[in-house]
Amino acid sequence: MPHYYYRAATSKGSIRRGWLKAENEQDLDFRLTNLGLILISHTYSKSGAFSGLRFWAAKTVERKSLILFCIHMEQMLAAGNSIQVALEGAQESTESPQLREVITSMLADILNGVNFSDALESHSPVIPISFSNMVRVGERTGELVEIFQGLGQNLKWEDEIKSKAAQAIRYPAFTGLIILAVGLFMMIFIVPQLMSFLSMMNQDVPLITQALLIVSGFLVNWWWTIFLFPFGFLLTIRFLCKRSPRTHLKIDRLKLKIWFFGPLIYKIFLIRFTNNFAMMYSAGVPILEAINLNVKLSENREIMRRLQSVVSHVSNGRTLSSAFRDAEVFPPPLPKLMEAGEEGGQLSSALLNASYFLDREIQSTVNKIQSMIEPMLTLIMGIMLVWIILSVFLPVYNLVGNNGLLP
């Protein structure tokens, strides 16, 4: 369906701009009229993709806006309002231009008979795919209020973790940049001048000084590679992942083993998984379907492989706890907790308890990272300074000693 970039006016006289799918100009005018907008001008786009959101495709809607959206939808639906009325209220109240354009498009789709979950899924580059999956569950079970409440709680938890992680690395990151800047300045400007003085002595220099000369010479001529290397590395990884699924799996498996950060990312996924799975299970969604829906929550192929292994084990008659244990999805103590929940008919409660323990471990990991990064940066700075000092003064000391100037 064609896309149009429109400029329209509201009943209060304010101007709205955005992109909307429509069959033709008359259909565009009709859709905007149904949304309470008066078409002023438009531009036609032949692209089959949702072009209007490509400008925002670099990032999803910010978490704060999504939290407010979930709270608004929960309260409006709990008050007995229809989805259309709730979305119209969210459209008026949101301050996010990305989310406003998404809601405008969703309202047009819903007015044309599209389900709420399908309308959400069509905007998955901007809205997390978990939203459409969970809303689809709410539509089937009639528990959209509980679904939005759960989504809001998950987003609040993720926002809290992100805030703590940012706070933990803010000072170390600033310190690291200072160390990098000082190191580059010394290597590019100070060390070459000192080395030119030592070269006039016409004597052999120690190995440690030769190493400093090599590093300094490289940075003088190729300093810009330090800034290009991260981008080149990421592009290479992305190219390898697209070219070979097996390589993609190996790289994703390696990501989960990176010291500190790999386990942290995995535990964050597990908490999201347990919370969503508990909501789906409580809503009456079959276990296999709930797991398959949660597979889409992760882009890591190793995690997807483990969850698909769980589906295979459960399909063959295994209990859920034993399937999770054999697939190594959860850390060792948690499958036992799930087993107790299965036997007592309290699986949902057991999953939430598992989420609580995982959250405690994440909090502890973040605190450990914060307490270890600062001493490590101080140690790196000290090693760099000692290296430069020894590299410069050892030749001078040897020269003075060879000339008999030392007692």
Residue 396 token pair? 């001078």
CA dist 300 and 297 (Å) reads 9
What is the reported pLDDT for 403?
56
Give yes or no for a contact between 339 and 357, defined as CB atoms under 8 angstroms apart. no
Q: Which amino acid is at 257?
A: K
Nearest to 4 by CA among 53, 63, 46: 46
What is the reported pLDDT for 54?
45
Please provide the CATH number assigned to the domain covering 58-152: 1.20.81.30
Q: Domains of the chain: which residue ranges?
A: 3-55, 58-152
Give yes or no for a contact between 307 and 291, defined as CB atoms under 8 angstroms apart. yes
Give yes or no for a contact between 320 and 338, defined as CB atoms under 8 angstroms apart. yes
Residue located via tokens 């590299």:
391
Give yes or no for a contact between 65 and 96, defined as CB atoms under 8 angstroms apart. yes
Q: Give the torsion sign (CA, 56, 59, 60, 64).
A: negative
Give yes or no for a contact between 308 and 295, defined as CB atoms under 8 angstroms apart. yes
DSSP-assigned states of every residue in 103-144: HHHHHHHHHTT--HHHHHHTTTTTS-HHHHHHHHHHHHHT-H
Residue 391 token pair? 């590299």
CA dist 351 and 277 (Å) reads 8
What is the reported pLDDT for 198?
66
What is the reported pLDDT for 59?
52
SS3 letters across 81-108: CCHHHHHHHHHHHCCCHHHHHHHHHHHH
What is the reported pLDDT for 223?
77
Output the pTM of the full model. 0.65
Residue located via tokens 């805030």:
163
What is the reported pLDDT for 51?
45
Report residue 43: phi and psi, to 5°: -130, 135
Contacts for 14 with CB less than 8 Å, ≥ 6 apart: none
Q: Can you give the pLDDT of all 407 residues of the chain as single tens digits?
A: 666 677 777 777 677 776 666 677 777 777 777 667 777 777 765 544 444 444 444 356 788 888 899 999 999 999 988 888 898 888 888 888 778 878 887 887 888 788 888 888 877 767 777 788 888 888 888 888 888 888 888 888 878 877 777 776 777 777 778 877 877 787 777 777 776 766 666 666 778 877 877 888 788 788 777 778 888 888 888 888 888 888 888 888 888 888 777 787 888 888 888 888 887 777 777 888 888 877 766 777 888 888 888 888 888 888 888 888 888 777 777 778 888 887 777 878 888 888 888 888 887 877 777 777 778 877 887 887 788 777 777 777 766 666 554 45
Whole-Å CA distances, 252 to 237, 248, 298, 301: 10, 6, 11, 6
